[in-house]
Amino acid sequence: MKKQIVFFDIDGTLLTDDKIIPQSTKKAIQLLQAQGIYTAIATGRVSNMFYWVQKELNMESYVSMNGQYVVFEGQQVYANPIGREILDSLAAMAHKNGHALAYFNHQDYRVNKQNHPLIETSFDSLLMPYPEVDENFYKQESIYLGHLYCESKDEQIYKESFPTLNLLKWHDNAYDILPIGASKAVGISKLLENFDIPVENSFAFGDGLNDLEMLATVGTGIAMGNAVPEAKAAADLITTSSSEDGILNGLIEVGLLDKRLIPA
């Protein structure tokens, strides 16, 4: 039996705007797993932020923090921490400019400021509470991802000061901080290589700017109907939205599920 794997982004893909998993998505993933097809999460989130999704969908494999930390069937296969010196310099600049930061290790995260409005707004968009505060978290842990919270007009000063880092906007005034070259596609490639799964047997669903490389790299990239235009352009096909059975419909369209065998 050939190895096949399907990667799923979380926000706007597995989850609707209301942060729920549609019943059709749950059924579709159960059917994939029953066929022996691997299923994996591919997200910008850290594992502590999506454990409930893993548990509900019975997924042990994931590409987290935009490819920075990868686990397959419960086994770590790739980790790419950000250098401590760069984090020191970043913390100093953010402090000078009055901006906020978040730091993510392999499973958890902390922010450096209490009651910061941009942190609050960003986590509200995820329907998540304000994070714990520890400005020295990065000094005690291996950090794979950062968040920068600043207004759009201030983004450029960080890009100019840190040419080895990539700032990827995920909310109005919130940016993922990653090493240049990091992406979900890199994490996926590491997983495929380690477990001898041909690229042509890989599929991915996504909707955001951090999904572009993933959608273009896997064998078949599927953009959600609610995806940004760039994601739709990078994909091989476009399914319906996350709230309109997009996962189920996409899996049927690429031939991984047989519509005739799906219960009404």
Reported as type and span, the H/E element at residue 232 is helix 229-234
pLDDT at 1: 66
Q: What is the mean pLDDT of the chain?
A: 95
Segment 106-143, tens digit of pLDDT: 999 999 999 999 999 999 998 899 999 999 999 999 99
pLDDT per residue as tens digits for the range 170-181: 999 999 999 999
Exposure class string for 133-166: b at 16+ Cβ within 10 A, else e: eebebbeebebbbbbbbbeeeeeeebeeebeebb
Tell me what pLDDT residue 161 has: 95
Q: Is 9 a catalytic residue?
A: yes
For residue 138, the surrounding DSSP H or E stretch is: helix 137-140
262 pLDDT more than 90: no
Q: What is the pLDDT of residue 40?
A: 97
Q: Which of 9, 207, 211, 245 is catalytic?
A: 9
- Select the more confidently predicted residue: 74 or 230: 230
pTM (predicted TM-score): 0.89
More confidently predicted of 1 and 148: 148
